[in-house]
Structure formats: C-alpha cells, structure tokens
Amino acid sequence: MKVFLNPGHAPGGHPDPGAVNSESGLRECDVALAVGQSAESYLNAAGVATELLQSDSLEEICEASNASDADIFVSIHCNAAEAEEANGTETWACAGSYRGSMLASCIQNQIVDALDTKDRGVKIATPGVNGLYVLTNTDMPAVLV
C-alpha cells in the first residue's frame, strides 16, 4: 500500500500560509507539515510506503499524486474561525467516490476517538459547487482532513 500525503498550503508560507494565529504567528502550513511528517513516519514504521508533497500549486500536487501509484490521497489542513462554536474535526471526500467516503469515515472516527474532538462529520465536496480541487482531480480515493 502507498499513501500520498499533502500537508496543506504553501511550503514556508509563501504565497499562502493558510490560517495564521494573530497572537503567536503560528501558521497552518507549518502545523500541517509537522502533522504530515509525523503521519509519514508512523506509516513508514508500519510498513506503508508514502510520498509527501507540500506545494503552492494544486495542479502540481494532483499531477504528482496521480503519477505516484498511491492507493490513497490525504490532504492535511487545520482550519480556523473567529466563532468559538466553529471547532472540531471534519473530513471531506468527493461526491460519487464510495471508497473516498469510506476512507473519510474511517479517518474521521479515528481522529475523533483518539483526540476526543468535536465530531463535525464527513462532508462531501461536489465538483462545480463546493468541490475541493485536490479531491476532484486525483485518480485514487482522496480525503481532506
């Protein structure tokens, strides 16, 4: 098995660091990369092959993942919002992808159970409506966490 890991947003934060904490300066791109590298180490130790790419080009990410012969694609993000009630964990899959939805459910349940976060559920990205580019342009089951 091979997993393609995509820590969200641009390496080094340029041009898009994702969410940024205004008080500490902590950037989503840095947290996502650290989580991706930890996941990669864990998966490799378990005997799972991985490829990791953080890029500011969504096209590059999709092209690399599609050329990688990976079995699944996981994009890692850490959203932020002003509203205090907007917290918890959600996992996205592409509309029409049964295997993607099953993968999203498994990952969602594992994170919520392990970290005791609020379960915001599995969300479905619909191309042309709210489609997330990396979910709709990869050839394998894909999720965005």
Domains and CATH numbers, the chain: 2-144 (3.40.630.40)
Three-state helix/strand/coil letters over 55-121: CCCHHHHHHHHHHCCCCEEEEECCCCCCCCCCCCEEEEEECCCHHHHHHHHHHHHHHHHHHCCCEEE
| Series of mean pLDDT values for 10-residue runs along the chain (145 residues) | 97 92 94 98 98 96 98 95 87 96 98 96 91 93 98
Tell me, yes or no, if the pTM score tops 0.85: yes
